[in-house]
Amino acid sequence: MKILWAPWRIKYILQPKDEGCFLCKAFKEENDAENLVVYRGEKAFVVMNKYPYNNGHLLIAPYRHVPDIVDLHDDEMLEIMALTRLMVKTLRNVLKPDGFNIGLNLGRASGAGLEDHIHFHVVPRWIGDTNFMPVISETKVIPESLADTYRKILEGLKEVIK
Protein backbone atom coordinates (compact mmCIF):
# COMPACT_ATOMS: atom_id res chain seq x y z
CA MET A 1 0.00 0.00 0.00
CA LYS A 2 1.26 3.46 -0.89
CA ILE A 3 0.72 6.28 1.56
CA LEU A 4 0.10 9.89 0.58
CA TRP A 5 1.37 12.07 3.43
CA ALA A 6 -0.48 15.40 3.85
CA PRO A 7 -0.38 16.19 7.59
CA TRP A 8 -1.65 19.77 7.23
CA ARG A 9 -5.07 18.43 6.14
CA ILE A 10 -5.88 16.94 9.58
CA LYS A 11 -6.51 20.43 10.99
CA TYR A 12 -9.38 20.88 8.51
CA ILE A 13 -10.68 17.34 8.83
CA LEU A 14 -10.99 17.47 12.62
CA GLN A 15 -12.20 21.03 13.10
CA PRO A 16 -15.88 21.45 13.96
CA LYS A 17 -18.02 22.35 10.98
CA ASP A 18 -19.16 25.94 11.16
CA GLU A 19 -22.78 26.84 11.15
CA GLY A 20 -23.56 29.58 8.67
CA CYS A 21 -21.69 30.97 5.73
CA PHE A 22 -17.89 30.60 5.70
CA LEU A 23 -17.59 33.50 3.23
CA CYS A 24 -19.52 35.90 5.49
CA LYS A 25 -17.41 34.74 8.44
CA ALA A 26 -14.18 35.29 6.48
CA PHE A 27 -14.91 38.89 5.52
CA LYS A 28 -16.52 39.92 8.84
CA GLU A 29 -13.61 38.76 10.96
CA GLU A 30 -10.45 40.81 10.99
CA ASN A 31 -8.09 37.88 10.70
CA ASP A 32 -7.31 37.72 7.00
CA ALA A 33 -4.34 35.33 7.36
CA GLU A 34 -6.36 32.73 9.27
CA ASN A 35 -9.31 33.06 6.91
CA LEU A 36 -7.03 33.20 3.83
CA VAL A 37 -8.49 36.50 2.60
CA VAL A 38 -6.04 37.81 0.02
CA TYR A 39 -7.85 40.97 -1.11
CA ARG A 40 -10.70 43.23 0.02
CA GLY A 41 -12.42 45.49 -2.47
CA GLU A 42 -15.32 47.88 -1.98
CA LYS A 43 -18.11 45.45 -2.96
CA ALA A 44 -16.33 42.08 -3.14
CA PHE A 45 -13.35 40.18 -1.77
CA VAL A 46 -11.02 37.31 -2.64
CA VAL A 47 -10.31 34.31 -0.42
CA MET A 48 -8.29 31.17 -0.99
CA ASN A 49 -10.23 27.94 -1.12
CA LYS A 50 -9.35 25.90 1.99
CA TYR A 51 -10.06 22.72 0.03
CA PRO A 52 -8.46 23.62 -3.30
CA TYR A 53 -8.63 21.75 -6.56
CA ASN A 54 -5.14 23.11 -7.29
CA ASN A 55 -2.68 25.41 -5.56
CA GLY A 56 -3.87 29.00 -5.85
CA HIS A 57 -7.59 28.10 -6.12
CA LEU A 58 -9.39 31.35 -5.27
CA LEU A 59 -12.98 32.31 -4.52
CA ILE A 60 -14.26 35.78 -5.41
CA ALA A 61 -17.50 36.81 -3.72
CA PRO A 62 -19.60 39.88 -3.04
CA TYR A 63 -19.84 41.04 0.57
CA ARG A 64 -23.61 40.78 0.28
CA HIS A 65 -24.95 37.32 1.03
CA VAL A 66 -26.91 36.62 -2.17
CA PRO A 67 -27.42 33.24 -3.87
CA ASP A 68 -27.70 34.02 -7.57
CA ILE A 69 -25.98 36.00 -10.30
CA VAL A 70 -29.26 37.80 -11.04
CA ASP A 71 -29.17 39.16 -7.46
CA LEU A 72 -25.87 40.99 -8.01
CA HIS A 73 -25.91 44.73 -8.47
CA ASP A 74 -24.04 46.05 -11.50
CA ASP A 75 -21.27 47.54 -9.35
CA GLU A 76 -20.77 44.19 -7.59
CA MET A 77 -20.57 42.32 -10.88
CA LEU A 78 -18.11 44.84 -12.29
CA GLU A 79 -15.86 44.58 -9.25
CA ILE A 80 -16.01 40.77 -9.25
CA MET A 81 -14.86 40.76 -12.88
CA ALA A 82 -12.13 43.32 -12.13
CA LEU A 83 -10.95 41.18 -9.20
CA THR A 84 -10.97 38.11 -11.44
CA ARG A 85 -8.66 39.92 -13.87
CA LEU A 86 -6.41 41.09 -11.01
CA MET A 87 -6.14 37.57 -9.60
CA VAL A 88 -5.38 36.03 -12.99
CA LYS A 89 -2.55 38.55 -13.48
CA THR A 90 -1.25 37.86 -9.98
CA LEU A 91 -1.43 34.08 -10.25
CA ARG A 92 0.28 34.18 -13.66
CA ASN A 93 3.19 36.07 -12.14
CA VAL A 94 3.41 34.04 -8.94
CA LEU A 95 2.49 30.44 -9.82
CA LYS A 96 3.13 30.40 -13.59
CA PRO A 97 0.10 28.25 -14.55
CA ASP A 98 -0.49 27.13 -18.13
CA GLY A 99 -4.16 28.15 -17.98
CA PHE A 100 -7.20 28.71 -15.75
CA ASN A 101 -10.67 27.43 -15.06
CA ILE A 102 -12.90 30.37 -14.11
CA GLY A 103 -16.57 30.04 -13.28
CA LEU A 104 -19.35 29.55 -10.77
CA ASN A 105 -21.85 26.90 -9.76
CA LEU A 106 -25.45 28.06 -9.33
CA GLY A 107 -27.54 25.70 -7.25
CA ARG A 108 -26.94 22.26 -5.80
CA ALA A 109 -27.55 20.51 -9.13
CA SER A 110 -24.55 22.36 -10.60
CA GLY A 111 -22.25 21.16 -7.83
CA ALA A 112 -22.42 24.22 -5.56
CA GLY A 113 -21.16 23.35 -2.08
CA LEU A 114 -22.33 26.71 -0.79
CA GLU A 115 -25.60 27.57 -2.49
CA ASP A 116 -26.59 30.70 -0.57
CA HIS A 117 -23.58 32.98 -1.20
CA ILE A 118 -22.58 33.31 -4.84
CA HIS A 119 -18.86 33.02 -5.50
CA PHE A 120 -16.68 32.67 -8.57
CA HIS A 121 -13.81 30.19 -8.76
CA VAL A 122 -10.41 30.96 -10.24
CA VAL A 123 -8.44 27.71 -10.54
CA PRO A 124 -4.90 27.75 -11.94
CA ARG A 125 -4.17 24.78 -14.22
CA TRP A 126 -0.94 23.19 -15.37
CA ILE A 127 -0.44 20.82 -18.24
CA GLY A 128 -0.42 17.39 -16.65
CA ASP A 129 -2.10 18.43 -13.38
CA THR A 130 -4.75 15.80 -14.02
CA ASN A 131 -2.88 12.54 -13.73
CA PHE A 132 -3.42 9.01 -12.48
CA MET A 133 -3.93 10.01 -8.81
CA PRO A 134 -7.43 11.50 -9.13
CA VAL A 135 -8.44 9.02 -11.82
CA ILE A 136 -7.27 5.79 -10.17
CA SER A 137 -7.29 6.58 -6.45
CA GLU A 138 -9.66 9.55 -6.25
CA THR A 139 -6.83 11.48 -4.58
CA LYS A 140 -5.63 14.95 -5.55
CA VAL A 141 -2.09 15.99 -4.64
CA ILE A 142 -1.68 19.63 -3.61
CA PRO A 143 2.10 20.12 -3.57
CA GLU A 144 2.33 23.33 -1.53
CA SER A 145 0.84 24.32 1.83
CA LEU A 146 -1.99 26.86 1.91
CA ALA A 147 0.13 29.17 4.09
CA ASP A 148 3.00 29.20 1.58
CA THR A 149 0.68 29.85 -1.36
CA TYR A 150 -1.10 32.59 0.63
CA ARG A 151 2.20 34.40 1.25
CA LYS A 152 3.16 34.12 -2.43
CA ILE A 153 -0.17 35.55 -3.58
CA LEU A 154 0.06 38.50 -1.15
CA GLU A 155 3.58 39.30 -2.35
CA GLY A 156 2.50 38.92 -5.96
CA LEU A 157 -0.41 41.30 -5.45
CA LYS A 158 2.00 43.99 -4.27
CA GLU A 159 3.82 43.74 -7.59
CA VAL A 160 0.67 43.77 -9.75
CA ILE A 161 -1.07 46.64 -7.90
CA LYS A 162 1.98 49.01 -7.95
Of 131, 134, 103, the closest CA to residue 119 belongs to: 103
Which residues make beta-bridge pairs with 61?
45
Hey, which residues are catalytic here?
A: 119
Dump the DSSP string for 8-42. Answer: GGHHHHHSPPPSS-HHHHHHHSS-HHHHTEEEE-S
Q: Using CA atoms in the order 40, 157, 129, 62, what is the torsion angle rounded to 10 degrees? A: 20
- Give the rounded distance of the alpha carbon of 162 from its chain centre: 23
